[in-house]
Amino acid sequence: MRKDVGIGALAKLHGGRNRRGNRPSHHADASASVQRKICQSLEKIGVLEQSDNGGRRISQDGQRDLDRIATAVVEAAKEDEEEEEGEEAEEEEEEE
């Protein structure tokens, strides 16, 4: 997430194509209500904080939590990869 992102920017980011029948499609923003409710709930648990010049940013505690989660995911992926390599080696030995 970029620094100091507001609800309007998030709605624009998560928006998509507005199909208008036989006329050309245009971009349409997502619901700002959904973005606002999500940001409020993330603020309540301490992941986001409101910035001085408007918008919201990730708090230090939130960044620490996200880094911890990302590290755990990478380690789990490495373990899965090692298990798959071990299984492939066992299968090759059985074939011989």
pLDDT computed for residue 54 by the predictor = 83
Give strand ranges (E) for 8-88.
Answer: 16-20, 23-28, 48-50, 56-58
Residue ranges per structural domain of the chain: 1-58, 59-96
d(C-alpha 7, C-alpha 38), whole Å: 10
Listed range (22-31, 75-84, 86-95) with the worst mean pLDDT: 86-95
Give pTM, 2 decimals: 0.66
Give 67-86 pLDDT, tens digit per residue.
999 999 999 999 888 888 77
The predicted pLDDT at position 21 comes to 94
Residue 3: pLDDT band with limits 50, 70, 90: confident
